[in-house]
Chains A and B, each alone.
Chain A
Amino acid sequence: MRARLVRSGPRIGWRLPAWAPARTLVLFVGALAVLYALPLVVPMGDYAHDLIGLTFMYMAAALAWNWLGGYVGQISFGHAAMFGVGGFVAARIALSTGLPFWAGWLAGGLTAGLYGLLWGHPTLRLRGPYFSIATIGVGEATRLVATYWDPFTGGSSGLSLPLGQGPTKFALYWYGLYLLAAVVALSWWLRRSRIGLGLLAIKEDVEAAADVGVNATLYQDLVLVLSATVIGVCGGFYAWYQAFIDPQDLFSFDRSIGFVLMGVVGGIGTILGPALGAIVFVVVQELLLASYAQFYLGIYGLLLVLIILFEPLGLSGLLLRLARRLGWRPAAGRAPAIAAGPASSASTTEPGPGGAT
């Protein structure tokens, strides 16, 4: 799209696109640099280092889930299907060809994207609960096929990756960071570009959106393919992180639930909320798995009930309330435009929406 919101100031050879104001860009690059250098400067144990790397992947996955679940409002309970496809394609490529690991991630991502298109194109016509239930069907059918497809997935005994051919767990920290950075940029672009407005329109009312010229089928397919591709790449990352993958784990319903929870806890439909949700998810999982493994589903269930009843925007909504209490006022005009659905509110981690134009 053509950048219409050109900031005033000295004209230089190129312009920043409207969806990436200077302040946001500076923050983004700054955060990236800090996270890049963090393990080199601050001494941290292997456990923390690896866990942060894994968290980057989950943050990316949660954001990708949110493109469909939040921006378009189509809640998917079946994203584990693409996670598994990506993971197993990456593992198979590593096992049977000499291609570098990133080629496997890419191939896994693209396969997952195509798979998403295959079931998504017909089902995305459904709205709300119907789509959600259809995705449970897709996820469960995929899990059943994968579990019994021994020649490809290794069946119940799973697959071991050829260690030494790919990145070490230590190096995965930075690959996770690159993945996350790309996904954050994509999230920002998807929401702030013309496409983002189209997606919001679809979320509010498909027919009205079609009346004003939004091609709902094309937009939704596009978002699903993007989301599925990223989830597939995340699956490839996870395969290398674990070095051993098992269809019962990668394709499990609980994994699909995990993506939903990260999105809802962080703030469904906000730009960066789900990444926050992913951090909470991983931290809670690690803390609880250590001492109270038997409570974790119930705690997520309770969290879900409380969030839906009291704060539909999750942590993002809480932070926003806090910010308001502390005297921060969203600039009029711009903020509501990016609000998430009927319960209007801006995204969280966004500093002064759109800058002080």
Chain B
Amino acid sequence: MSEVLALAVSAVLLAGFYAAMAYGLGLIYGVLRVVNLAHGGLIMAAAYLTWVLFTRLHIDPYLAIPVVLVVFFAAGVGLYRGLVRLLPRGAEGGVQSLLLLFGVWLILRNLAYLLFSGNDQAVRTSYSTASVRILGNSFAVTRVVVFGVAVIAMLALHLLLRHTLLGKAIRAAGQNPRSCTLVGIDVDRIYALTFGIGVALAGLAGLLASTLFAFNPSYGAGELLRSFVVIVLGGLGSVVGIAAGALVLAFAEVFSIYLVPSYLTAAVGFVLLVVVLVARPAGLFGQRVLG
């Protein structure tokens, strides 16, 4: 029983991280109808940025959050203005923007390889090995902090989308860009901001990942897939939906150790993805938008 409890807490903590990974991908898809295939690469890049800030400038990874957010927001706006804007969006542009952003991912991987070599890196702080007791079991402090940051990010995103004028404009642009133009919303600017926020959230996920896992330039393929699973499971109906999707994925992965050997738990998510995409191909994304 205590084992099940330990696994459940572990799954909840993992779900926090998964939700943090998925916000960015979901926001960009929900508003621009573009699947950001560079998402995994951006997570990897943010992990390296955090690592550099920590090893060279000795900035604590969690205190570096504002720096990473600003840098990745700027990168996201640049990516939108320089590349994504030039392509058609939606169904007809789907494959083109997919391949374009895939190219961006390859470039990011190569840059990371050139700058940092292909070796595994990790951010090891003085408290990396510390643990806290939750419901009678020990968990790493970093996992708890990551969960907390993810929840705060979720609340912040919710407040931004639901209770600010900008959030209203973003949701409107996701619903009907043409009508937005009619009421005087600069849709292109909203798209740039949305892409920037989405990439900044990917950056946050990369920062959080760097404190939990080892990473190398190839890191990110699994993260992209998991993010996609989460938004497919949870839909784009709300930030809460993403949290729910993350919980389903995390519980499926953690509890799959009862059914499959441990090295296959990563495959569980991929199989879940295919099953969900096939079982509910239209309803999951549907016409709903984030908000």
Residues of A within 8 A of B (CB): 73, 75, 119, 122-123, 125-130, 132-134, 136-138, 140-141, 144-145, 148, 253, 257, 260, 264, 294-305, 308-309, 312, 342
Contact A145/B264 with A75-B95, A126-B281, A129-B35 known, Cβ cut-off 8 Å: yes
The answer to whether A309 and B83 touch across the interface, beta carbons within 8 angstroms, is yes
Interface 9-mer from B4-12, B98-106, B178-186, B240-248: B98-106
Please, which residues of chain B bring their CB within 8 A of the CB of A134?
Answer: 273-274, 277-278
Residues of B within 8 A of A (CB): 35, 83, 86-87, 91-92, 94-96, 98-100, 102-111, 113-114, 221-222, 224-225, 228, 261, 263-264, 266-267, 269-271, 273-274, 277-278, 281
Q: Give B266's nearest chain A residue, CB to CB.
A: A144
How many Å from the CB of B280 to the closest CB on chain A? 11
The answer to whether A264 and B99 touch across the interface, beta carbons within 8 angstroms, is yes
The answer to whether A136 and B225 touch across the interface, beta carbons within 8 angstroms, is yes
Q: Give A297's nearest chain B residue, CB to CB.
A: B110
The answer to whether A141 and B106 touch across the interface, beta carbons within 8 angstroms, is no
The answer to whether B225 and A133 touch across the interface, beta carbons within 8 angstroms, is yes
Highest count of chain A CB atoms <10 Å: which of B83, B111, B274: B274
Please, which residues of chain A bring their CB within 8 A of the CB of B225?
Answer: 133, 136-137, 140
The answer to whether B228 and A133 touch across the interface, beta carbons within 8 angstroms, is yes
Contact A129/B273 with A137-B225, A298-B106 known, Cβ cut-off 8 Å: no
Q: Give B38's nearest chain A residue, CB to CB.
A: A301
Contact A123/B106 with A140-B270, A144-B263, A294-B113 known, Cβ cut-off 8 Å: no
CA distance A297 to B266 in the complex (A): 25
CA distance A311 to B270 in the complex (A): 33
Q: Give A122's nearest chain B residue, CB to CB.
A: B278
A–B complex contacts, Cβ < 8 Å, 25 sampled: A73-B95, A126-B278, A128-B91, A128-B95, A129-B95, A129-B98, A130-B277, A132-B98, A133-B225, A134-B277, A137-B273, A138-B270, A140-B267, A141-B271, A145-B264, A145-B267, A297-B106, A297-B113, A298-B106, A298-B114, A299-B110, A301-B103, A301-B104, A303-B103, A304-B102
If over half of B's interface residues share one DSSP class (helix, strand or loop), that class is named, otherwise mixed; here it is helix
Please, which residues of chain B bring their CB within 8 A of the CB of A296?
Answer: 110
If over half of A's interface residues share one DSSP class (helix, strand or loop), that class is named, otherwise mixed; here it is helix
CA distance A253 to B105 in the complex (A): 13
Contact residue among A123, A133, A138, A145 (Cβ-Cβ distance under 8 Å from B35):
A133
Highest count of chain A CB atoms <10 Å: which of B94, B111, B114: B94
Contact A308/B87 with A136-B225, A298-B107 known, Cβ cut-off 8 Å: yes
How many Å from the CB of B227 to the closest CB on chain A? 10
Highest count of chain B CB atoms <10 Å: which of A127, A144, A312: A144
CA distance A75 to B102 in the complex (A): 12
Please, which residues of chain A bring their CB within 8 A of the CB of B267?
Answer: 140-141, 144-145
Please, which residues of chain A bring their CB within 8 A of the CB of B222?
Answer: 140
Please, which residues of chain B bring their CB within 8 A of the CB of A144?
Answer: 263-264, 266-267, 270
How many Å from the CB of B155 to the closest CB on chain A? 28
Please, which residues of chain B bring their CB within 8 A of the CB of A297?
Answer: 106-107, 109-110, 113
The answer to whether B264 and A148 touch across the interface, beta carbons within 8 angstroms, is yes
Please, which residues of chain A bring their CB within 8 A of the CB of B221?
Answer: 136, 140, 253
Please, which residues of chain B bring their CB within 8 A of the CB of A132?
Answer: 35, 95, 98
Contact A123/B277 with A129-B95, A133-B228, A305-B100 known, Cβ cut-off 8 Å: yes
Please, which residues of chain A bring their CB within 8 A of the CB of B99?
Answer: 75, 260, 264, 304, 308
CA distance A136 to B106 in the complex (A): 15
**10 interchain residue pairs of minimum CB distance:** A298-B110, A301-B106, A304-B103, A137-B270, A128-B94, A301-B107, A305-B103, A141-B270, A129-B35, A122-B278
The answer to whether B100 and A309 touch across the interface, beta carbons within 8 angstroms, is yes
Contact residue among B87, B94, B105 (Cβ-Cβ distance under 8 Å from A301):
B105
Please, which residues of chain B bring their CB within 8 A of the CB of A148?
Answer: 261, 263-264
CA distance A141 to B264 in the complex (A): 8
CA distance A304 to B98 in the complex (A): 11
How many Å from the CB of B97 to the closest CB on chain A? 8
CA distance A145 to B271 in the complex (A): 12
How many Å from the CB of B31 to the closest CB on chain A? 15
CA distance A138 to B274 in the complex (A): 8
Contact residue among B91, B95, B103, B274 (Cβ-Cβ distance under 8 Å from A302):
B103
CA distance A75 to B98 in the complex (A): 10
The answer to whether B110 and A301 touch across the interface, beta carbons within 8 angstroms, is yes
Please, which residues of chain A bring their CB within 8 A of the CB of B102?
Answer: 260, 301, 304
Q: Give A296's nearest chain B residue, CB to CB.
A: B110
Please, which residues of chain B bring their CB within 8 A of the CB of A294?
Answer: 110, 113-114
Contact residue among B98, B106, B270 (Cβ-Cβ distance under 8 Å from A128):
B98
How many Å from the CB of A216 to the closest CB on chain B? 14
CA distance A298 to B221 in the complex (A): 16
Q: Give B100's nearest chain A residue, CB to CB.
A: A308
The answer to whether B270 and A308 touch across the interface, beta carbons within 8 angstroms, is no
